[in-house]
Amino acid sequence: MKIALIHDWLVGMRGGEKCLEVFCELFPEADLYTLIHISGSCSSTIEKMNIHTSFIQGLPFSSTKYRNYLPLFPFAIESFDLKNYDLIISSSHCVAKGIIPPPDALHICYIHTPMRYIWDMFNEYFSKEKVGKWTRSFISSVATLLRVWDESSAKRVDYFIANSRHVQNRIWKYYRRKAIILNPPVDTTFFKPGKEIEDYYLIVSSLVPYKKTDIAIKAFNELKRPLIIIGKGPEEKYLRKLVKFSGIKFLGYQDNETLKKYYQKCRALIFPGEEDFGIVPLEAMACGRPVIAYGRGGALETIIPPNRDLPPTGILFSEQTPQALAQAVEEFEKIEKEFNLNSIRAHSEKFSRERFKKNFENLVKFLLEEKPLEEELCSENGVKFLKT
């Protein structure tokens, strides 16, 4: 059986690439197709695959400005010749699901999210304040065309696998397709508790608009609490200008060993954005640290607030404002001793990498047999099927 893996772009190791890494381990002989690949930017498991790139790779400044070629992405992903493949697995948060599969191939899409920047988060990415009136007008026209393509190309997928119930709902909303839920992997073997806690809070995030790092900076300016921000992105310059308290520090990108140490020693992770799932909070929890998160999206599926039947793993706040976040931090500090390192760690292990790998492998085998999906099938090992 000839297998192709499709991924939007390979420029670093974020949540989507951690899923892709598992797919590469399961299917090491597969060919890997992507819009653009920056050599050495991903794990050795991904880098040693037989990687094919699109024409975007050869365009000017593609390694740093590839997002500017968004209008060309549908053409680029459709340009791949996949006629000899039997199984196609796309890992998609942008256009990867839109490949054109051969008639007899099975196309399974593990979808991290429908494209945020053309659907529900368009205004956050392309407000008049961020891009200007005329640029926004042009982008709005492009986004309209992309929405049409995105919806129509969803028909090329035989089975959708969503990374969360939140994404499952969005797949139905925008594509009118049902999806299986399989939460993404968390490396609980690598991320584990340390011995000492220090007096700082932590953000681990790409510095892009929807992550809402700005409200955290504003909250901690008022709280006068130490905040460490790990990550890079196009909003970094803007965010640095917001800092008024000397205890707020930007550390840029950090390798996993360094990241683990910061997870282990923080009082709590701050997670102010609305995520489709959110692997970062679970990495922090694998290190035994609680999470203070905005109570929408994937956070509702992974964080247990106080006053529930289960031991708490974090605090949820209901409004995406500096005031609401500051109040949540103060609430956390009043009950900080109620958070048990071992209970938080045990909760994270429900999302382990080993479980994801086993469940995804079983799921692909099942779908290859062309069996009808049944409600609750395989629910004992964490896989949820929905009736088609």
pTM of the model: 0.84
Average pLDDT over residues 352-374: 85
What does the alpha-carbon distance between residue 95 and residue 15 come to, in Å, rounded to a whole number?
Answer: 16
Per-residue pLDDT band at 116 (split at 50, 70, 90): confident
Concatenated DSSP letters of 195-218: S---S-EEEE---SGGG-HHHHHH
With b for 16 or more beta-carbon neighbours within 10 A and e for fewer, the 117-144 pattern comes to bbbbbbebbbeeeeeeeeebeebeeebe
* Over residues 22-44, mean pLDDT: 97
What letter does residue 145 receive in the DSSP assignment? Answer: H
User: Could you report the per-residue pLDDT of 303-322, keeping only the tens digit for each?
Assistant: 999 988 899 999 999 999 99
Q: Give residue-wise pLDDT tens across range 187-246.
A: 999 999 999 999 999 999 989 888 999 999 999 999 999 999 999 988 999 999 999 999
**Residue 373: pLDDT above 90?**
no
Question: Taking each helix axis from N to C terminus, what angle separates 322-334 and 213-223, rounded to the nearest 10 degrees?
Answer: 60
Q: What is the pLDDT of residue 17?
A: 95
Tokens of 314: 């974090």
Domains of the chain from N-terminus onward: 3-185+353-381 (3.40.50.2000), 201-350 (3.40.50.2000)
Q: Containing H/E element for 78?
A: helix 73-78
Contacts of 330 (CB under 8 A, 6+ apart): 223
- In this prediction, residue 32 carries a pLDDT of 98
Sign for the CA dihedral angle at 116, 119, 125, 131 comes to positive
Poorest-pLDDT segment among 126-135, 161-170, 272-281, 326-335 = 126-135
Residue 142: CB partners within 8 Å, gap ≥ 6? 70, 71
Task: Note the pLDDT of residue 210.
Answer: 86
Sorting pLDDT into bands at 50, 70 and 90, what band is 380?
very low
Amino acid present at 93: H
User: Residues 325, 311, 185, CA angle at the centre, nearest 5°?
Assistant: 80
